[in-house]
Amino acid sequence: MGFGTVGRSVAKILCERTDGLLRLTHICNRNVERKKQPWVPSDVLWTENFQAVLDSEVEIVVELIGGLHPAEDLVRGALNAGKAVVTANKQLIARHGPDLLQLASSNGCQLEFGASVAGGVPVLPALRTGLSGDRLHGIAGILNGTCNYILSRLESDRIPFSEALEEAQARGYAEADASEDLDGGDARAKLSILALAGLHVRVSPADVRARTIRAIDVVDFDYAAELGCTIRQISRADLNDTTLFAEVGPSLVPASSPFGRVQRNLNLVLTSGEFGGDVAFLGAGAGGYPTAVAVISDLMFVAESLSLGPRPHRPLNLASPNVSCDFETPWYLRFWVKDQPGIIASLAAILSAHQLNIDAVLQKPGFDKNALPFVITLESCRDSQLHPALEQMSAQSFALRPCLCLPILR
Ligand SMILES: NC(=O)c1ccc[n+]([C@@H]2O[C@H](COP(=O)([O-])OP(=O)(O)OC[C@H]3O[C@@H](n4cnc5c(N)ncnc54)[C@H](OP(=O)(O)O)[C@@H]3O)[C@@H](O)[C@H]2O)c1
């Protein structure tokens, strides 16, 4: 279902396979006539009628339409008809994953979604098998290739944000409306799925705070470099008893760390386990063929499971923790001010009144005194402790823009 970028690549790989485990039987798409391809064998049925697919003897339905409508109804219909489902649909799984897994289980079917996070990087299958013997407590990742492309271009070539965004759009990495990418909506949906699969928690994407990367300026990379760091959009989730600390947003990371070294539109996921420690997964987070590889791998897993006979009903055991963004970290605060005497003293007084400790003050020479960027770093404190001070500092008459506040992840 869905013969677009990923669907076409999945069909192509299936048509070239010769091992007999998987056979493509139907291609279902709206206005399907214009989709037909000469390389698809003549016994494959092209159709717009999804019900006909369900009424046939197909064993696995692959949903590659995307979005919630009509994908959700189609996936529910397939599971209710006793078909296994493989999907790459992050919106669907992030919003309805637990319910759909429950539905699959009660129908004795499988639902696999390995391509829904990080495209061709096999992190979800690893959570299902290779890491299932551990008790994971943390997952962090660079999950949005568009943001990473833009931030790593700012870092390496000091080009303006708008130019890096246009370049990402021209290369097909970003949509014309890139809000979901830039403002963190895409990454937090993926983080919810990783938390579901790896931490066994039910978390709605809407409950995960997302901070935009739009406020990042080239000068932030200069200041970050002085601190031995660079800037990346990091999605992180830490499970701590009954609280899931989770958020998505631009963060300072050491330039020499795995996150600091991820360039262009690659994805990186790090898992932290109680017994096995940290494990890293790096690769292409999107693209027709890398994503299709993840879909085909899910298909092979399902086909092999089907050959073992009916699946026993296994109730889902998911926790529903409180979701908080109140991380305790050191912080990077960047101010953009009209220079005048006493600015540092005013800011220091506000910070001191909130019992926040300054770690360093950085000011690069050579800027116009009418629009001067400088940075204060803070010692570790909770987000909630810092927030009221930020509002007060941003309201000062010398502040030309709201203070940019980024966690420093060590
Ligand atoms: N592209 C990637 O790199 C990537 C990476 C990871 C995950 N994914 C996920 O993979 C899924 C597919 O993505 P994609 O990039 O392949 O999308 P796409 O290129 O837009 O393809 C979607 C296909 O579904 C068809 N379709 C849309 N609405 C339909 C409807 N109501 N009934 C029947 N067919 C319908 C579209 O037909 P029309 O041609 O008529 O529009 C199109 O052929 C999404 O869930 C996406 O999030 C994609």
Residue 20 has pLDDT above 70, yes or no: yes
Q: Are 193 and 116 in contact (CB under 8 A)?
A: yes
Pocket residue to mutate for ligand 1, from 1, 5, 35, most atoms within 8 A of Cβ? 5
Catalytic, 35? Answer no
Distance in Å, CA 66 to ligand 1 centroid: 5
pLDDT digits (tens, 9 = 90+) for 293-328: 999 999 999 999 998 887 776 778 899 999 999 999
Distance (Å, rounded) from C-alpha 83 to C-alpha 72? 14
DSSP 402: P
Distance (Å, rounded) from C-alpha 307 to C-alpha 310? 9
Which residue has the least CA distance to atom 18 on ligand 1? 4
Q: Give the mean model confidence (pLDDT) for residues 36-42.
A: 97
Instruction: Please give the helix or strand (H or E) that residue 267 lies within, else none.
Output: strand 266-273
Identify the sign of the CA torsion 190, 104, 15, 3. negative
190, 338, 364, 369: which one is catalytic? 190
Which residue has the least CA distance to atom 32 on ligand 1? 30
From residue 217, give the alpha-carbon distance in Å to each of 159, 220, 404.
9, 5, 10
Pocket residue to mutate for ligand 1, from 3, 27, 30, 123, most atoms within 8 A of Cβ? 30
Distance in Å, CA 5 to ligand 1 centroid: 7
| Res 313: pLDDT | 67
Burial of 20 (0-12, 13-18, 19+ CB in 10 A): exposed
Q: Are 3 and 288 in contact (CB under 8 A)?
A: no
In terms of Cα–Cα distance, which of 245, 251, 249 is closest to 207?
245
pLDDT digits (tens, 9 = 90+) for 107-127: 999 999 999 999 889 999 999
- Predicted TM-score (pTM) of the model is 0.96
Atom of ligand 1 nearest to the CA of 2: 24
Distance in Å, CA 137 to ligand 1 centroid: 33
Atom of ligand 1 nearest to the CA of 69: 31
Instruction: Please give the helix or strand (H or E) that residue 290 lies within, else none.
Output: helix 288-306
For 277, the token pair is 């420690």
Other beta carbons within 10 angstroms of residue 233's beta carbon come to 28
Distance in Å, CA 9 to ligand 1 centroid: 11
Distance (Å, rounded) from C-alpha 204 to C-alpha 97? 10
pLDDT digits (tens, 9 = 90+) for 217-256: 999 999 999 999 999 999 999 999 899 999 999 999 999 9
Alpha-helical segments (H) within 90-144:
90-106, 123-128
DSSP 135: -
- Residue identified by tokens 């409508």 is 69
pLDDT digits (tens, 9 = 90+) for 130-178: 999 999 999 999 999 999 999 999 999 999 999 999 999 999 888 889 9
Distance (Å, rounded) from C-alpha 3 to C-alpha 409? 41
Atom of ligand 1 nearest to the CA of 7: 16
Which residue has the least CA distance to atom 6 on ligand 1? 119
Distance in Å, CA 1 to ligand 1 centroid: 9
Mean pLDDT of the chain: 96
Residue 343 has pLDDT above 70, yes or no: yes
Which residue has the least CA distance to atom 39 on ligand 1? 4
Residue 140 CA to its chain's centroid (Å): 9
Q: Are 126 and 197 in contact (CB under 8 A)?
A: no
Distance (Å, rounded) from C-alpha 348 to C-alpha 359? 11
Which residue has the least CA distance to atom 44 on ligand 1? 66
Beta strands in 105-154 (DSSP E): 111-112, 136-142
- Residue identified by tokens 């979800």 is 124
Residues with CB under 6 A from ligand 1: 2-7, 29-31, 64-66, 70, 88-90, 115, 119, 286-287, 291
